[in-house]
Structure 1
Amino acid sequence: MARVLIVGGFLAVVFWVFSIVDCAVQPATRHRGVRKGAWVAIVVLIPVIGGILWFSIGRRRKDDSDTRPYAPDDDAEFLRGINRKEQDARIRELEEELAKLDEDGDHPDPRS
C-alpha cells in the first residue's frame, strides 16, 4: 500500500512539473480562456487539478486556429484573387437571364 502511494505521489509530482513547464513555454496565442500568467498560477497553485484543467480546456491545439472554417470573404487571399469587374458582369448576365425567364413565364413547377 505504501509503495502505491509513493508511486502515485511521484507520478503526480511529475505530471505537475510537466504541466507547469508546458504551460510556461507555450506562446500566449495557444492559451484559451485567461491569460498565460493566470494559467501558470492555476497550474502551480492547484497541482494535479490545475494540470488537468490546463490540458483539457486551457491549451489550444495547433490545428484549432489553423483549420478553423471561415467564410470566403474572410480570406484575404481569396478576395485578392477575385476580379471584381468580371464578377459584376456575370451577376448582371444572370440577372438578365432571370428577368427574361420571368417575362416568358417559363417557370418550372417546383413541386414536380
Structure 2
Amino acid sequence: MGVTGTDYDLDFVQNLSKSVAESIYKDAAIVRIITSDGLYIADSGNANNIGQSIQGTSSEFGQKIVDQIKLGDIGYFIDESNNTVNVIAPIMLGNTNISWGGSYHT
C-alpha cells in the first residue's frame, strides 16, 4: 500500500515511527505521522489506526493536532486526564504538497 504523492509505502513509514519511538524515547512514547486532513499514515502504538481519521480515534485532541499540523509549526499540549504531553512537529516525507505532522505522545 502506498501514499498518494510520495515515494514511500506505508510499511516503511510505520517502521520509521516504531524505530523513532524505540530508539529516541526508549519505547515509552507513541509516534504518529498524520496528514493535514487528519489521516494516520503511521502509528507506533496501533497500526490499526493507519488510514483512519484522528478525529474518530482521538476525538478530544484530534482537531487540535490537525490544526497544529496545518500551521506547519511546532506545538504541544498537555492532556491532564492521562498525564501526557503531546508534541506536534511538521515533517516532510517524499515530494508532496501535503502537510504532514509528527505527533509524539509521552
Would the TM-score normalized by the shorter structure come out above 0.5?
Answer: no
Tell me the TM-score normalized by structure 1.
0.20
More helix by share: 1
Instruction: Compare CA radii of gyration and give the structure with the larger one.
Output: 1
More strand by share: 2
User: Looking at both structures, which has the greater relative contact order when contacts are Cα pairs under 8 Å and sequence separation is at least 6?
Assistant: 2
